[in-house]
Chains A and B, each alone.
Chain A
């Protein structure tokens, strides 16, 4: 296998001190955006069917053009010039424009069909596309790839048939996970497809110029891109900078154009950059909370307590969301009392916050220990205990995920042990172990610090994975009424009626509380003053540099 050897010009004896400049600096008039790769390592593959993190998506939005693109909260044309939606909302027909891959091959409907088929065989993202006909069946191996509801009507037409009229489907189609792929190159390179710059083809606004996995990825403007006029940047340099302080130092020195993409900034940093007018605030999705295991790791005593809604409420009312946001996060967050952050769109022009009456109704913004005790007394009475001291010890699972808000686990732990008085065994594990223990088949947790980020701009992205059939995210919640409400919402074509059904589902879910919401994020990023037109999005890649400009 041919290998790309790293730039290795400097293995010279130490004492021959020659200062050499950086490799091939772009010409002075070139507009180069320099950003840090989100996450603490470099990317391994640029195959959207293999790796699915938002860190990967950050590059995917530059090099791929899915059927449609989401820009801010808008869906715009991408590889498809136009599209039709059938009256029943179930059949989407996309008409592709004439476009070319980076290696000169034409972009065809087949590139999308093969990508979707492959998604359901190899990719963990496939679950979010289960609205597509025969999707889950293909993943389970029950149907043939040809039976999937994604078909090429001809070279330039892709037809996608859904199980139900999902009004958010264009958002899903705009996700970089649904970028086209090249079956011919996959056959040629096997596992190596997408793992290096010479073993991949792209069709997006930028071309992959060079890529040293753990060091630097360079994208340059694609002159043949259909919308090349709207692309102002000549080059995007994505640097691997695992240390956040290093990123900040580079930003302060003007060598990095954005700061705070991968890790939440501290309030002090926000204030500093705000004073210089370098702060960009945006509407960001995602929430963090505590999830409960109905089965209590097969211990009937624990299961009885954990699945009692009053037990969850006793904990929820002991959490002081507002105080945590104010004192720990310094205002950099929002108290969450429902799963869906209020900034999400429910239908055109209306946010979830304007529709839902459930805010603060089932879970409080401020702690109320008297109420917490009231709920706990009910739990004690129902299960024959006289005090919480008699409860068994519970496992609290958490990971060192850097995207978790600051001190969330210590705060939750102190509330659970000191305020509520439970005996807690803290299971603090690494990322991979966390998913191993949290998800099926292990479900090795009693309570778990969890979070969820949206896959599209609709409350359904926060609700769908809680249905009884779900095997996602350690879900142990089984409720026929909830399932029925979501099914009804999926079948409903009138957006306002659909919203009301989802409101009911949210109320039911909040009342039972299989997951107690805690906080939402506030989107904040520091941007150098010479960087213009950074677009932000509530889901997927929050910070979109594709249409950015540099004016120095």
Chain B
């Protein structure tokens, strides 16, 4: 297991290095200057470029950046002047993480529940209900859902706060809106994989042994059916926990999601780099975690 982990770590670091290098140079291919503005003259622009070291040869900039990156320093944001990228991520990420965790826990529990229930009631009303739910969850965009939730549950029937992230009540609507798509996906995968397993040999064997239905479902079916669901969880977790532009905008959550969009619009080189690397590292870490979890779910993997 230790060797497996070390090998995975080496691959992860290499992947991060490649990601950082490609992003660094690709970003500079985008035409334009990050300091453009309605009143910025050429002289002022040149001074700003020099201040941020953008007047140096690109290859030098790359080495300077990589050196700082190796020490965990993402540098200063070009658009949010006076703020380091580390500081911006440190302030925003906890909000996205908090919101994402709530959404994720809800999505996984409810998704598994609906997936299992519909598989066990295949073809009946409960199954159809789940299919509808899945369709709605996947196809309704979050800005529509967020807007509808906000209007009905905060303005028309004021039982929840409109927006902002201040108390538990404030977290309910954004977490639900964020969770719906994931919940639908989890339910879909869980249903499919439960159905697949229902005819597997070991389930038949369990039935033949005379185990009751509850024992079969809980002990044999569930554990094996979780496998495909686990596979999709790596990227899903990374996506949900690093924030959503739309949900955070609608509910005024000061999270990370907004920065992903705005930094690119502002041509904020350091911020785009920082976020890309942060997200990349997070994604790799999540996938790694899932790989370790595979081992727990399926003993066969530990051997190879």
Please report A residues at the B interface, Cβ cutoff 8 Å.
1, 3-6, 8, 10-11, 13-15, 17-23, 40-42, 44-45, 47, 50-52, 121-128, 139-141, 191-195, 212-215, 239-243, 245-246, 249-250, 252-253, 255, 430-437, 439-441, 471-473
A18 touches B168 (CB 8 A): yes
Is B114 at the interface (CB under 8 A from chain A)? no
Mask: chain B, 222-240; 1 = CB below 8 Å from A; 0 = not:
0000000000000000000
Q: Which residues of B contact A42 (CB under 8 A)?
A: 254
- Choice from B37, B76, B150 contacting A245 with Cβ under 8 Å: B150
B47 touches A121 (CB 8 A): yes
Closest chain B CB from A140 CB (angstroms)? 6
Is B105 at the interface (CB under 8 A from chain A)? yes
Please report B residues at the A interface, Cβ cutoff 8 Å.
31-34, 36-44, 47-48, 76-77, 79-84, 87, 90-92, 94-95, 97-98, 101-102, 105-106, 147, 150-151, 154-155, 158, 162-169, 171, 175, 249-252, 254, 258, 262, 265-267
B44 touches A124 (CB 8 A): yes
A3 touches B87 (CB 8 A): yes
- Known A-B contacts A124-B44, A441-B42; the reply to A10 vs B167 at CB < 8 A is yes
Separation of A208 and B162 alpha carbons in the complex (Å): 26
- Known A-B contacts A6-B94, A212-B254, A253-B154; the reply to A44 vs B82 at CB < 8 A is yes
Of chain A, the residue at the smallest CB distance from B154 is A249
- Choice from B36, B38, B81 contacting A44 with Cβ under 8 Å: B81
Q: Which residues of B contact A13 (CB under 8 A)?
A: 105
B79 touches A126 (CB 8 A): no
- Choice from B32, B37, B79, B80 contacting A124 with Cβ under 8 Å: B37
- Choice from A139, A240, A436 contacting B33 with Cβ under 8 Å: A436
Separation of A408 and B251 alpha carbons in the complex (Å): 29
Separation of A123 and B155 alpha carbons in the complex (Å): 43
Q: Which residues of B contact A1 (CB under 8 A)?
A: 84, 87
Separation of A355 and B77 alpha carbons in the complex (Å): 48
Q: Which residues of A contact B79 (CB under 8 A)?
A: 44
Q: Top 10 closest A-B pairs, CB basis?
A: A195-B82, A124-B39, A435-B36, A44-B80, A214-B254, A436-B32, A215-B254, A436-B36, A124-B40, A430-B265
Q: Which residues of B contact A430 (CB under 8 A)?
A: 265-266
Of chain A, the residue at the smallest CB distance from B251 is A246
B39 touches A22 (CB 8 A): no
- Choice from B41, B94, B150, B151 contacting A471 with Cβ under 8 Å: B41
Separation of A192 and B80 alpha carbons in the complex (Å): 11
Separation of A141 and B168 alpha carbons in the complex (Å): 55
Separation of A4 and B90 alpha carbons in the complex (Å): 10
A246 touches B83 (CB 8 A): no
Closest chain A CB from B6 CB (angstroms)? 31
A245 touches B147 (CB 8 A): yes
Of chain A, the residue at the smallest CB distance from B151 is A249
Q: Which residues of B contact A241 (CB under 8 A)?
A: 163-164, 252
Closest chain B CB from A245 CB (angstroms)? 6
23 contacts between A and B (CB under 8 A): A10-B168, A10-B171, A13-B105, A14-B102, A20-B167, A44-B81, A50-B81, A122-B48, A125-B39, A128-B39, A139-B41, A195-B81, A212-B91, A215-B165, A240-B252, A430-B265, A431-B266, A432-B32, A435-B36, A436-B31, A436-B36, A440-B42, A471-B41
B150 touches A253 (CB 8 A): no
B251 touches A214 (CB 8 A): no
Q: Which residues of B contact A193 (CB under 8 A)?
A: 82
Q: Which residues of B contact A121 (CB under 8 A)?
A: 47
A121-B47, A246-B150, A432-B265 provided; 14 other pairs, C-beta below 8 A?
Answer: A6-B95, A6-B254, A41-B258, A44-B77, A124-B40, A126-B41, A191-B81, A242-B252, A245-B147, A246-B163, A249-B163, A253-B158, A430-B265, A440-B42
Separation of A122 and B35 alpha carbons in the complex (Å): 12
B39 touches A472 (CB 8 A): yes
B249 touches A243 (CB 8 A): yes
B150 touches A239 (CB 8 A): no
B39 touches A52 (CB 8 A): yes
Separation of A1 and B85 alpha carbons in the complex (Å): 13
Closest chain A CB from B107 CB (angstroms)? 11
- Choice from B31, B175, B258 contacting A214 with Cβ under 8 Å: B258
B155 touches A252 (CB 8 A): yes
A11 touches B94 (CB 8 A): yes
- Choice from B44, B48, B158 contacting A139 with Cβ under 8 Å: B44
Separation of A6 and B249 alpha carbons in the complex (Å): 18
Separation of A45 and B83 alpha carbons in the complex (Å): 8
Closest chain A CB from B190 CB (angstroms)? 20
- Choice from B40, B77, B175, B252 contacting A239 with Cβ under 8 Å: B252
A19 touches B169 (CB 8 A): yes
Closest chain B CB from A89 CB (angstroms)? 26
- Known A-B contacts A14-B101, A240-B252; the reply to A213 vs B171 at CB < 8 A is no
Separation of A84 and B106 alpha carbons in the complex (Å): 68
A243 touches B162 (CB 8 A): no
Q: Which residues of B contact A431 (CB under 8 A)?
A: 265-266
Q: B31, B77, B82, B250 — which one has the most chain A CB atoms within 10 A of its CB? A: B82
Q: Which residues of B contact A41 (CB under 8 A)?
A: 258, 262
- Choice from B36, B47, B94 contacting A8 with Cβ under 8 Å: B94
Q: Which residues of A contact B266 (CB under 8 A)?
A: 430-432
Closest chain B CB from A55 CB (angstroms)? 13
Q: Which residues of A contact B81 (CB under 8 A)?
A: 44-45, 50-51, 191, 195
Separation of A40 and B106 alpha carbons in the complex (Å): 30
A249 touches B167 (CB 8 A): no
Closest chain B CB from A40 CB (angstroms)? 8
B95 touches A433 (CB 8 A): no
Of chain A, the residue at the smallest CB distance from B169 is A19
A213 touches B44 (CB 8 A): no
Closest chain B CB from A13 CB (angstroms)? 8
Closest chain B CB from A285 CB (angstroms)? 15
Separation of A18 and B95 alpha carbons in the complex (Å): 17
